[in-house]
Structure 1
Amino acid sequence: MLKSKPRIHKFPRTDGPEPNIGEVQRIEDGSVLEVEGAGQVKLMHTPGHTQDHVVVYLSDLHAYMISLQKILDLSPSQIYPGHGPIIQDPIPKIEFYIKHRTERENQILAALSSQPQPQTPGQLVKIIYKDTPEHLHLAAENNVNHHLSKLLKENKVENKDGLWRTC
């Protein structure tokens, strides 16, 4: 038995009238919703089989790294992804992804440890991505935020008012 009435979030149709599905909260391309058990998800307008179709994007580096390790532990000889070609000999590719993410995590921890004051993700980008063109810093900051969320779940960092430090 439902305790409360479900909330319906919907991207507006552009090719005809809206269906009568009750009270609907309109969403925009790029809207972010808080979802119990998943945290924040981003909604992206991706018209396909209907004009009001959206993709729900959940990015959780912690869960991703656990998933990579689970796949690696299986020692598969091939992987059949949900999209794209079959991956032959996937172990080196999975090991590369794990190594790359671990190296970035270690850079973030080292940068936090080397600073006397807590840092914002933007400040960390300037420390870690010195050789990256500035027009790419926003994307780099998104990456740093994913790592900080993972490190927070692992109790390796603390966040107070958007300022991060190691534990």
Structure 2
Amino acid sequence: MTEYPTGVAERLDALVVRVLAPNPSPYTYTGTQTYLVGTDDLAVVDPGPDDAEHLKALTAAIAGRPVCAILCTHTHRDHSPAAAPLAAATGAPIIGCAPLTMRDAGPRADAAFDADYRPDRVLADGETVSGEGWTIEAVATPGHTSNHLCFGVRENGALFTGDHVMGWSTTVVAPPDGDMTAYMKSLERLMTRADTVFYPAHGPAIDRPQRLVRGMIGHRRQRERQILRLLEEGVGYIPEMRARMYVGLDSRLEGAAERSVLAHLIDLQGRGIVAGNEGDWRLAA
């Protein structure tokens, strides 16, 4: 068995089972991880791509038990498309994030939006869904996308973090929908919580979550300082900034890195620190 076996139901704790979808890529790492919560009746978190092999694996893991809810953290196509066929097969409602579709022709480092996502119920921040032995609370965490939710399990201290916090890489924040200001506030919110483990959609479980989040905040502040130093040197063209900031980056990720730089610049502009536009940024007077 490999470290990340595709399609195998892996028990992570008394309430949580993980099933890895067969969609590895430079952007999804080993693939999208779908989680089953519960023992007698279940919630399915981030059903993943509409892939026949993955749906077969989920059906086997569900093993005929009732499904109370299919929960989606956000509507990128590696997370939510399997919700509809799984709902049809199980009769479960699709619950969680609001629908969101954006036209976005820019370079992405993640899947585009799922235009077919149709939730039966949208969860507001703090709302819950429950089953036998488990209660899941929605935690609004905009930033990666404006509709992103995390899901906290009250009984075991777990937080399903979707793409807000990943176990292998920093999260993509790509304008126009990705918002660095909102993302940083969402990270700071997680620092105030008492979650004991994060289960991300990509990468391994995180058993010291507050330490990781603190490091992620520090990493973003370091990127911000790099940008300000470059602007002080008169470098205000995003591709040149990216080349200076991301030395040795895989060429397939260059466009996404430039979107991240743009997200930081928009945040700094909103705080009155920089001025300009995509082609020519500078320090504010």
- Give the TM interval when normalised to the shorter protein: 0.5 to 0.7
1:125, 1:144 within 8 Å by CA — same for their partners in 2?
yes
Query: 2:183 is matched with which residue?
Result: 64
Match among 92, 99, 118 for residue 211 of structure 2 = 92
Match among 189, 192, 209 for residue 73 of structure 1 = 192
Q: TM-score normalized by structure 1?
A: 0.58
Map 1:1-167 → 2, pairs under 5 A: 31-32=103-104, 44-46=112-114, 53=116, 57=145, 58-79=177-198, 87-115=206-234, 119-160=236-277, 162-167=279-284
1:156, 1:166 within 8 Å by CA — same for their partners in 2?
yes
2:197, 2:207 within 8 Å by CA — same for their partners in 1?
yes
2:262, 2:278 within 8 Å by CA — same for their partners in 1?
no
State the alpha-carbon separation in 2 of the partners of residues 73 and 100 from structure 1.
19
1:125, 1:137 within 8 Å by CA — same for their partners in 2?
yes
Check 1:77–1:136 CA distance in 2 against 1; reply closer, same or farther (3 A cut): closer
The sequence identity of aligned pairs, in percent, is 28
1:45, 1:54 within 8 Å by CA — same for their partners in 2?
no
Letter aligned with residue 223 of structure 2: R
Unaligned runs of 5+ in 1: 1-28, 33-42, 47-51
Structure showing greater Rg:
1
Please give the root-mean-square deviation of Cα atoms over the aligned residues, in Å.
3.2
| Structure 1 range deviating more: 66-75 or 84-93 | 84-93
Give the aligned length.
121
Q: TM-score normalized by structure 2?
A: 0.36
Check 1:61–1:121 CA distance in 2 against 1; reply closer, same or farther (3 A cut): same
State the alpha-carbon separation in 1 of the partners of residues 230 and 283 from structure 2.
10
Check 1:77–1:110 CA distance in 2 against 1; reply closer, same or farther (3 A cut): same
| Structure 1 range deviating more: 135-144 or 58-67 | 135-144
Check 1:31–1:54 CA distance in 2 against 1; reply closer, same or farther (3 A cut): farther
Unaligned runs of 5+ in 2: 1-100, 105-110, 119-144, 146-176
Letter aligned with residue 131 of structure 1: G
Letter aligned with residue 31 of structure 1: R
Higher RCO, 1 or 2 (CA under 8 Å, sep at least 6)? Answer: 1
Letter aligned with residue 179 of structure 2: D
State the alpha-carbon separation in 2 of the partners of residues 151 and 76 from structure 1.
30
Instruction: Please state whether the residue corresponding to 1:97 is helix, strand or coil.
Output: helix
State the alpha-carbon separation in 2 of the partners of residues 113 and 75 from structure 1.
40
State the alpha-carbon separation in 1 of the partners of residues 187 and 239 from structure 2.
28
